[in-house]
Each structure stands twice: as C-alpha cells, then as structure tokens.
Amino acid sequence: MSNDLDAEIESLKGAENLPRHIAVIMDGNGRWAKKRRLPRLAGHRAGTEPVRKCVRASARIGIEYLTLYTFSLENWSRPKAEVTGLMVFLEEVLRRETLELDENGVRLNAIGRLDLLPRATRSALDRSIEKLSKNRGLVLTLALSYGGRAEIVDAARRLCNDVASGEIRTQDIDEEHFREKLYDPSLPDPDLLVRTSGELRISNFLLWQIAYTEIWVTDVLWPDFTETDLIAGIRAYQGRERRYGLHST
C-alpha cells in the first residue's frame, strides 16, 4: 500500500460524517472479461482482489458495516456451467479468505434465500460465519441468492404467519414490525450505496433499506476497483447533506 494511500486512509479515521454502512453493487466482471477475451468466470475471479482491498480499507477507516451484492436471485438463470463455477469459486474464496478476515477482526454475515445454495456452498459459508462469529470489527455481509423484492415478500409472509397465529394484529403492523421480519433486522440501513461500471440502476438490491441512502456511481469496472475508488465514494458522501425528505437548511 502506497504512502499516499496510507495517508488518505489515516485522514479518514475518526473523521466526521463517515458512512456507518456501505453497500456495494459489484458490477462489470463480465464486461471486464469480455474486453480481454476471457471467460466470464475469469472476471469473477479478478473481482476477488477488489473485495479484499475494500474489506481491508473499510476496516482500517472504521466503517462498521460493508454489504456486497455477491449473487442475485436472477443470477440463478445464467448458464448452468457459469453458476456451478461461481458456487465452487465462492467455496474456494471462503476457505482461502477466512483466516485473513479473522486476523482483521471481521465478522461475516449473509442474507438472501440461502436455502437455494448448493449444500457444499452453504456448508462452507456456515463454517466461515461460525469461525468469525466472535469478532467485533467490521461486519461483512454477503448478499447471496438475494433479491430485494424477494426479501420484502418473505418478510410479508412472516408477518402473515404472525397474524394468523395471533402474535400480532393487522392494525398494529408498522414499519418497525416489518423491518423485524427482514433477513437481518440488526443490519442498519446503508448510508452509502456504491455502484461500479457506470450503470444507473439499483438492480433489486436492498429495496427496503435504501429509501434514504446516498448513491455514488463510478464508471470503473469492479475488477479494476481500488481503495482509491472507495475513498472517492466516501469523500463524495461526506460532501452531501442528508435531508431524509426534509427541507434544506
């Protein structure tokens, strides 16, 4: 890590108006690979280093939560060979990276319809989560087999079950009750949503949680994303006034 980057990270430590929770749509792996005439999976493999860099930098800066859109529900419709390759690769990454995450005090979390994951992938994920469960540093959440609409539907189903069992009355349901039925109600709403590859859409990611999230988009493809890009997003966030629907002062 360069001296300039070290200085940037040090300058952000303890700074005012840091985002507590950063969520990232890691887009552009396929395009990165296509530009180099490589298979799509090569783009996903190249995308692991930016994850490593962002986790390290976020932990050093003092970001409390980092959520990565790792595999969407829609991704299940991709060619079977690609999906299988992604699952095997995810297992490899979990085995390889858990030790470093542990050394950095990172706690691992996952949200989504995890029951759809292959048994081996789910087992690898559960082992890593358990191994890192006592850590008290950065909370790294992987959105796996995840869709924002699906999360809302699943939460509604849980609320319906509570009404049917008499645990709550329909007229008592409010936003807080609904939030409690999300995949991880302890996860605070993101302050900053980062999207790479220049696409101006949120792709069914954290639809409930990003109601007042600040969005920052960069043209950089995910495999080329660096700590400097992450810091640029944080700096942009620090320069904004969050009004939550209120008038500006």
| Sequential pLDDT tens for the chain (249 residues) | 577 899 999 999 888 899 999 999 999 999 999 999 999 999 999 999 999 999 999 999 999 999 999 999 999 999 999 999 999 999 999 999 999 999 999 999 999 999 999 999 999 999 999 999 999 999 999 999 999 999 999 999 999 999 999 999 999 999 999 999 999 999 999 999 999 999 999 999 999 999 999 999 999 999 999 999 999 999 999 999 887 766 555
For residue 101, which of 136, 70, 144, 69 has the smallest C-alpha distance?
136
The span from the CA of 144 to the CA of 147, in Å, is: 9
For residue 213, being part of any structural domain is answered with yes
pLDDT for residue 249? 53
For residue 160, being part of any structural domain is answered with no
The span from the CA of 243 to the CA of 85, in Å, is: 43
For residue 41, being part of any structural domain is answered with yes
The span from the CA of 207 to the CA of 198, in Å, is: 19
For residue 166, being part of any structural domain is answered with no
Could you tell me if 113 and 150 are in contact, meaning their C-beta atoms sit under 8 angstroms apart? yes
pLDDT for residue 1? 57
Q: Indicate the SS3 state at residue 23.
A: strand
pLDDT for residue 242? 80
For residue 53, being part of any structural domain is answered with yes
Measured at the CA of 84, the angle between CA 55 and CA 93, to 5 degrees, comes to 25
For residue 6, being part of any structural domain is answered with no
CATH number of residue 225's parent domain: 3.40.1180.10
For residue 177, being part of any structural domain is answered with no
Q: Taking the CB of residue 60, how many other CB atoms lie within 10 A of it?
A: 17
For residue 178, being part of any structural domain is answered with no
Looking at the 3D structure of the chain, how many domains does it have?
Answer: 1
The span from the CA of 76 to the CA of 113, in Å, is: 12
Dump the DSSP string for 85-126. Answer: HHHHHHHHHHHHHHHHHHHTTPEEEEES-GGGS-HHHHHHHH
23 forms bridges with which residues in the sheet? 67, 193
Cβ neighbours for 105, distance < 8 A, ≥ 6 positions apart: 59, 135, 136, 137, 138
Its domain, for residue 54, covers 18-145+190-237
pLDDT for residue 247? 59
Kindly tell me the burial class for residue 65, based on how many C-beta atoms sit within 10 Å of its own C-beta (0-12, 13-18, 19 or more). buried
pLDDT for residue 241? 84
Residues annotated as catalytic (active site), given as ranges: 27, 75
